[in-house]
Amino acid sequence: MEQTKSLKLVPEISDEKLKDLYKQMWLIRYFDEQVDQFFAKGMIHGTTHLAVGQEATAVGACALLSDEDKITSTHRGHGHSIAKGGRVDKMMAELFGRTTGYCKGKGGSMHIADLDKGNLGAMGIVGGGIPLAVGSALTAHMKKLEYVTVCFFGDGASNEGSFHEAVNMASIWDLPVVFFCENNQYGMSGNVKEMTNIENIAERAAAYGIPGVVIDGNNIIEVINATYEATERARRGEGPTLIEAKTYRWKGHSKSDAKKYRTREEEKDWRENRDPIKKFKEELIEAGIVTEEEAEKIKQEAKQDLDDAVQFAQDSPMPTLDDLLTDVYA
């Protein structure tokens, strides 16, 4: 474990696992870049929200979670799904509206769920997943189960009443939940600086009597460490933590976005100077965990997985009208 020390990791993580995390980051990037292209070509319909540039938050926060641990995800959820062990082929099939997709073609980009892997699903209602995560933590508490729930939500979502109600409840009941805010600076066009009057969303934790932590969300090591501490605290029965990870979405909010609310310079700065994948790669190389060539090979493996996923999706059957009323119970 000598190498991991130079990475400043708090928990111990094997080299193999670190390489896998690196691959996951590329999978997310390739997945969302591919989806972006498919949308542009009209090959996928509906809408989509891409997490390119935010790979470190999803992968870092889920790095040490088991399949028993739960997450709740958001409209920008492809990365969460991949990081929680989701299969990119079933995800892509879902976006293609196929029966082999995670939701049999009924949910699409915004609603990928994989209950077996602990992904309680992506919620298209902003803030909708936050109280739900509290409920998941309540189950763990009442049934004395070991699992923790990591609740992903955005800076924008922290202005919904659901956030405040949920965090307070989790706090008074000491529930094993981690509120993980991916502050990518904007909720659609709303700049977080204009939509809140505080410097950090994590400051809101004080109002509910729980720890609030601000981290660099583009530094996966920081994400892993902060989430590790929060989940350990939760598992000890000491209650929730609010983590705020500062990050940036490289793409527009959804498929149609002229991005008038921010500058191209700002985007360029984040892309060129704060790329989370590039940063992790440099650290892995510096720590002697991978060579440049090995890093490239891992990246190509991710690309191959993605290409296979696209093939799988395209070869999969469409639902028929007989499927319209399956799973309807009321």
Provide the binding-site residues for ligand TPP, judged by CB under 6 A.
49, 75-76, 124-126, 154-157, 184, 186-188, 253
8 Å CB contact between 177 and 148: yes
The distance of closest approach from Cβ of residue 188 to another protein in the complex, given in angstroms and rounded to an integer, is: 5
Region for residue 118 given its phi and psi (left: phi exceeds 0; alpha: psi -120 to 50; beta: otherwise): left
Task: Select 122 or 126, whichever has its Cβ closest to ligand TPP.
Answer: 126
Residue 226 identity (one-letter amino acid): A
d(CA 266, CA 255): 20
The distance of closest approach from Cβ of residue 98 to another protein in the complex, given in angstroms and rounded to an integer, is: 8
Residue 260 site contact among ligand TPP, Mg ion, another protein, none (CB < 5 to 8 Å, cut-off depends on kind)? another protein
Residue 209 site contact among Mg ion, another protein, ligand TPP, none (CB < 5 to 8 Å, cut-off depends on kind)? none
154 binds Mg ion (CB under 5 A): yes
Rounded to whole angstroms, what are the CA distances from 314 to 90, 141, 192, 197, 306? 11, 43, 39, 47, 12
305 binds Mg ion (CB under 5 A): no
Closest CB to ligand TPP: residue number: 154
Q: What are the structure tokens assigned to 269, written together?
A: 């700065």
CA–CA–CA angle 205, 206, 209 (5° rounding): 90
d(CA 48, CA 30): 15
Binding site for another protein (CB under 8 A): 45-47, 94, 97, 103, 105-108, 110-111, 123-128, 156-157, 159-162, 187-190, 194-196, 257-258, 260-261, 318-319, 321, 323-325, 328, 330
Task: Select 86 or 176, whichever has its Cβ closest to ligand TPP.
Answer: 86
3-state class (DSSP) for residue 186:
strand
184 binds Mg ion (CB under 5 A): yes
Residue 76 site contact among another protein, Mg ion, ligand TPP, none (CB < 5 to 8 Å, cut-off depends on kind)? ligand TPP
The distance of closest approach from Cβ of residue 221 to another protein in the complex, given in angstroms and rounded to an integer, is: 31
Q: What are the structure tokens assigned to 50, written together?
A: 């891409």
The distance of closest approach from Cβ of residue 309 to ligand TPP in the complex, given in angstroms and rounded to an integer, is: 23
d(CA 19, CA 16): 5
- H or E element that contains 216: strand 212-216
d(CA 196, CA 151): 21
DSSP state of 121: E
Instruction: Rule CB under 5 A: choose which of 97, 107, 176, 187 binds Mg ion.
Output: 187
The distance of closest approach from Cβ of residue 213 to Mg ion in the complex, given in angstroms and rounded to an integer, is: 18
Residue 1 site contact among Mg ion, ligand TPP, another protein, none (CB < 5 to 8 Å, cut-off depends on kind)? none
For the beta carbon of residue 30, count every other beta carbon within 10 angstroms.
22
Interface positions with Mg ion (CB under 5 A): 154-156, 184, 187
